[in-house]
Every structure is written in structure tokens, then in C-alpha cells.
Structure 1
Amino acid sequence: MDVQKDQVRGLRERKKDDARNRIADVVIQFMADASEINHDVVAETTGISRRTIYRYFPDRDSLLSTAFTRVREMAGNRVVFPKDEQALLGTRSIYSGLDRIAPIATLVRSTPQGRAMRLSQKRERQESYLAVAADAVKDLPEEDRVLATAVLQVLHTTVWLEMRDHWDLTGEQMGRATSWAISVLLNDLRSRQGRPLSPDSR
């Protein structure tokens, strides 16, 4: 009897996951089409009821956040917010993953809808990088801790489009360059002994 309940529960969860993925895929398609993204148009396009979509995603941010998570999953299972310094240094898999979904990754970096998707996870992103960088920046003045952490985050995930467009680099090459840069910065941050980032800082 318990096995049967587990099977039913498993089937229900698979149906939910399938619906969520269909919704996320439609949101991504709207980004490509430069269409307005809201619950009504998603319901109309997917055939999933508006009520169900609101149950899964109660507001626009949650809808966009799920779509952005779906984009990251498409790029590979290592394209996630880092949990430790080793993951922070592991940029090759991230940039190679973005190469694999280059058309979508470009839209995420260059359209208003893509920007909205990225901003939907701003809090989660900040919390992750602040936690990972905390040890390296702990002796800096408070403002400099944020500045240093922001630079580490940009190198870890954000420079893909610029390096691709302006330098014709592959994800593998970007990974080598950014991993080196992050390593240099972490070493510098630990050797500063509380000195501010700028020589002229007071």
C-alpha cells in the first residue's frame, strides 16, 4: 500500500516538475521574442491554467527566477551560485556551459527580460558571494568588503558576453583567465592585513 502511495506521489511530483519546466521554457521563449512576461500570457501559451501557474509562482519574480534557474540548468549542473572558494575558482565549467547555450545566454545578458530574470535572484546571489568571500575580505573596511566581493562575483559569472564578443574567447579560455584572476585577488585580499583597496582611501 505504501509503495502504491509512493508511486502516486512520485507521478504527481513528475507532473509538477514537467509543468514547471514547460512554464519556464515559455518564459525563456518570451525573452527571445522580446514579449511581455506575465502569468496570463504564460497560461495562454502553455495551456496550463492561470490558477495553477499562480499556485506554483505567486508573483512575477518567482516566475522569472524559475526561468533563470532553468537557464542555468541548461548550461550544466555546475552553473550554480558558489558555496565555497573552490567553487568560486571553478569558472571553466560555468563559461563552457554558457558556450553550450550561447544564444540563450546572450539574450539573458542583453535583453530587458533577461536582466529581469537575473535580478529576480539578486538577493540569493548576493548572499552566496558574501558568504563565500567572507573569510578573504574580513579584515577590510566595511565598504571595501562589498567592493571586493562584487568584483569576485563579476569575474565568476558575468564577463562571458564581453570576452566572447570583444576577444573571441571560448568558455575554456575564459575559465582559465577568470580562475587566475580570482586566485590573484583572493591572495591579495588575504595579504592586505586590513589595508583598504585604494591607496588613497582614508
Structure 2
Amino acid sequence: MTAESRTLRDRQTAATREQILEIAMHQLGQGPRGTFSHESIAEAAGMSARTVYRHFPDRASLLQALWERLREATHTRFPITEDEILPMAQTVFREFDANETLVRAVLNSPAGTEVRERGGVEGRAAFTQSLAPIIEGLPEREKSRIIAVFVSVYSAPFWQLLRDRGQLSAPEAEKAVSWALETLIHATKSITGPRLVEVKKKK
């Protein structure tokens, strides 16, 4: 096979993968009304299910690719330092509002829930890193609980609760999530402060 033919094949492969993801994202955007499977994607794309499986051998690999696509579409980012937590939360909530139709559809879709769980994994890893300096010395179970609360607040479901059940406007929701996270940070520091002193003394 020549270099030119390999390049053409690579472009065709990339185009097919992109088509699959575009259709899958569209199906996610239909919310609970839509269908979502390798077979339904193949039918909508006018290709065989075997082709979809060739690019995404299982549901997990397809969901991971869709999470990455959703993350880019909504500009979702996670903080890796304590200083990034508050400003990034406001930015993420602003992006949820800018992509409200898609975000709400994903929140209300069974497949969307699976996609978002990929974000949960990424979020837990990020908050484990960003909170590390202020949860040092705590028992592992306590660390896990604190991280879980931060991840839950820094999320689309929490955004939806503030907008719908809390009846907050978009700017008010941004301020609310910032206040909630700032309060959590102060509360965590009040717990860990004395323990950090003890840990450092022992060292």
C-alpha cells in the first residue's frame, strides 16, 4: 500500500468515526425520547452495525468517546489546584447555560447518565489533586466523602437543581455554586487545620 493510499484510508476512517460520534451525540440530545445503541447509530448513519463496532468495539469505548466530545462541546474543565476551583466552577456553569438544550437532554437520558459517569471519574481524580493540600492527614474515608461532595456540587445535576428547583437565574446560579464551594473549602480547612499541625509535628 502506498503512502498516498494509506493517507486516504486514514482520512476515510477518521471521517467515519466522526460521523458515528455526530449521530451518537444527536441521539443523546434527543433525551429520553431517543434511542441509543450501536445498532440505532448504524441505522441512522446508513452503515452496518459492524462498522460502528469496528470503531467502537463495546459500549464503554463509545461512551468514553462521547464523554470527551461532550466535555469539548460544553468546555467542561476540572480544577487541579485549590485556586482554580471557584473561578472554574462559575465558568463551567456559564457553559452549561450556553449549551442548555444539550446538557438537559443528557441529564434526562439513560445513555447520558452513563456518559456523565465518565466525567465523575475525571472529576474525582481532579478534586483528589486540587484538594490534596487541605485534606492531608485525614482518614481515607473522610477524604472520599469530602471529594464526593465537591464533585457533586461541581456538576450539571447541581446546576439543574439550582436553576429548576432553586429557581435561580443563570448569574445567580453561578454565584450560588461559587458560594457553596467556598463554604465547603473553609469548612474543610477548619477540620483539617489542627490535624495538619499534628501531622507536621510528627514529621
Normalised by the length of structure 2, the TM-score is 0.76
Q: CA deviation at 1:37?
A: 2.1
The alignment status of 1:171 with 2:170, answered yes or no, reads yes
What is the rounded CA distance, in whole Å, between the counterparts of 1:15 and 1:173 in structure 2? 46
Query: Could you list the runs of 5+ residues in structure 2 that have no partner in the other structure?
Result: 196-203
Q: Deviations over 1:139-165 (max 9, x none)?
A: 222211111111111121241111111
The alignment status of 1:125 with 2:126, answered yes or no, reads no
What is the rounded CA distance, in whole Å, between the counterparts of 1:58 and 1:71 in structure 2? 20
Indicate the residue corresponding to 1:116 in structure 2.
Answer: 114
Change (3 A) 1:55 1:136: farther
Tell me if structure 1 keeps the 8 A contact 2:79–2:130.
yes
The alignment status of 1:88 with 2:85, answered yes or no, reads yes
The number of equivalent residue pairs is 190
Tell me if structure 2 keeps the 8 A contact 1:97–1:171.
no
What is the rounded CA distance, in whole Å, between the counterparts of 1:155 and 1:134 in structure 2? 18
What is the rounded CA distance, in whole Å, between the counterparts of 1:181 and 1:54 in structure 2? 43
What is the rounded CA distance, in whole Å, between the counterparts of 1:111 and 1:165 in structure 2? 17
- Percent identity reads 27
Identify which of 125, 135, 140 aligns with 2:133. 135
Superposed CA RMSD in Å reads 3.0
Query: Could you list the runs of 5+ residues in structure 1 that have no partner in the other structure?
Result: 197-202
Indicate the residue corresponding to 2:184 in structure 1.
Answer: 185
The alignment status of 1:60 with 2:46, answered yes or no, reads no
Q: CA deviation at 1:28?
A: 2.8
Change (3 A) 1:160 1:193: closer
